[in-house]
């Protein structure tokens, strides 16, 4: 009976060790979708329910980024006026004023107290606090997971 119990205990401990080794990699964080990876400047799909975290802010570039694919506003109190040209837009800055003329792809506001005006957008995602987004035309899909955030039709951006 002693050998039988010893074998069971050994199998139980071995199984637990195997399970533990398989679970170790489960906590690895990946970039959120349609979000810009500041290191490469490439965008990924957006996780609509996720807000800006301290870790997100540590990974952000030192200044705003405007390229052929994305407009990334990270500078607090920035005043940005651009032609959107179907680009993806991420505003993670606090108290920024952003006017984007023309058609935008995804527009994501994750900072605090920013005002974002777009001509039109395919999708508007709010996950920040006290942000106001307006669109001059179109019928964007709106996902509002922010606190005290609004999306309205109107604003100063040109279509």
pLDDT for res 22:
40
The pTM assigned to this predicted structure is 0.62
What are 116's two structure tokens? 């974002």
The residue to which tokens 């990974």 are assigned:
59
Residue 93 lies in a domain: yes
Angle among Cα 61, 43, 92 to the nearest 5 degrees reads 45
- Write out the residue range of the structural domain in which residue 42 sits: 36-153
pLDDT at 131 over 60: yes
Count structural domains, the chain.
1
Residues 51-92 have pLDDT tens digits of 445 555 555 567 888 889 999 999 999 999 999 999 999 999
Residue 26 lies in a domain: no
Query: Under a CB-based contact definition with an 8 Å cutoff, are residues 135 and 151 in contact?
Result: yes
Residues 136-145 have pLDDT tens digits of 999 999 999 9
Residue 112 lies in a domain: yes
Residue 23 lies in a domain: no
Burial class (CB in 10 A: 0-12, 13-18, 19+), 4: exposed
DSSP string, 79-124: EEEEE-TT-EEEE--SS-EEEEEEEEEEEEE-SBS-EEEEEEEEEE
Angle among Cα 13, 17, 20 to the nearest 5 degrees reads 135
Name the more confident of 62 and 39.
Answer: 62
pLDDT at 4 over 80: no
């Amino acid at each position: 009976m002693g050998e039988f119990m010893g074998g069971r205990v050994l199998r139980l401990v071995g199984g637990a060790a195997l399970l533990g080794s398989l679970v170790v990699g489960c906590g690895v964080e990946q970039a959120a979708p349609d979000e810009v990876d500041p290191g490469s400047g490439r965008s990924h799909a957006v996780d609509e329910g996720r807000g800006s975290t301290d870790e997100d802010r540590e990974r952000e570039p030192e200044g705003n980024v405007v390229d052929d694919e994305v407009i990334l506003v990270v500078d607090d109190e920035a005043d940005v006026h651009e032609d959107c040209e179907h680009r993806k837009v991420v505003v993670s800055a606090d108290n920024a004023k952003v006017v984007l003329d023309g058609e935008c792809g995804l527009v994501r506001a994750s900072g605090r107290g920013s005002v974002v005006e777009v001509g039109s957008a395919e999708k508007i995602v709010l996950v920040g606090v006290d942000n106001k987004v307006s669109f001059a035309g179109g019928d964007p899909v709106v996902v509002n997971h922010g606190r005290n955030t609004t999306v309205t039709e109107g604003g100063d951006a040109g279509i």
